[in-house]
Amino acid sequence: MFTEQGYDATSLRQIADAVGTTKAAVYYHFPAKEHMLLELTRPWLDAVGGLVTQIRSAGVTGDRDAAATLEAYLDVCIDHLSTLNLLARDPATGNHPDIGRRAITLIDSLRQHIAGDDASDPRLVQTACAIGALHAVAGFPPELVTTHRQRFLDAALAALDANDPSQPSQPSQPAQSAQSEGGRQSTRRKVATQ
């Protein structure tokens, strides 16, 4: 119901009615709606926390480890897609201090590990973009995400390896791309003017 109506718009009475029980029975297990939200998000937060613990204890770094960490995090995101969808669609859920702060801390730990010690600003940006590519799974149907798992991973790896972080990025040159399309652009202009 949180996903359909939003966290703030869903009452415990509505939840009780939806599962066919009394409001008192719901209150017995969850004294407040936020307790239910904490229990819904805990498995994802615990899985990310487990991944952070695992990568810290392994003590491995480098590009190969960064790719493996991104892949492991993608699998955690896929395994907990409904939670990610809830957090992505309803900002009120991420505003809960026990959820939002913990999620940010854990994701920052992953980001720091992937970027590496003493990462340059470009490397930090690339790492943030790589993690953002993985977070893009939120909002897609589960079957699409599992079918295109490798595409999400490839996008994250491409963001991470966009160019040599020690070299400034080159601005794109729109004139060249317009010339490379050559005939297609002139055909579009002809069609547009007819």
Smallest CA-to-CA distance from 120 within 155, 162, 158, 73 is with 162
What is the structure's pLDDT at 86?
81
Tokens read off for 159: 């963001």
Question: How is residue 169 annotated by DSSP?
Answer: P
* pTM of the model as a whole: 0.72
Phi-psi region of 65 (alpha: psi -120 to 50; beta: other; left: phi over 0): alpha
What pLDDT does residue 28 have? 63
- Angstrom distances, CA of residue 162 to CA of 98, 155, 191: 35, 10, 36
Q: Residue 152's CB: how many other CB atoms inside 10 A?
A: 21
Q: Where are the domains of the chain?
A: 33-165
pLDDT tens digits for range 28-87: 666 666 777 787 889 999 999 999 999 988 876 666 789 999 999 999 999 999 888 888
Residue written as tokens 């995090």? 73
Provide the Cα torsion 75, 147, 151, 149; round to 10°: 0
Across the chain, mean pLDDT equals: 77
Supply the DSSP symbol for 36: H
Helices 97-115, 63-79: crossing angle, 10 deg rounding: 150
pLDDT at 107 over 70: yes
Answer with the residue of higher pLDDT: 12 or 79.
79
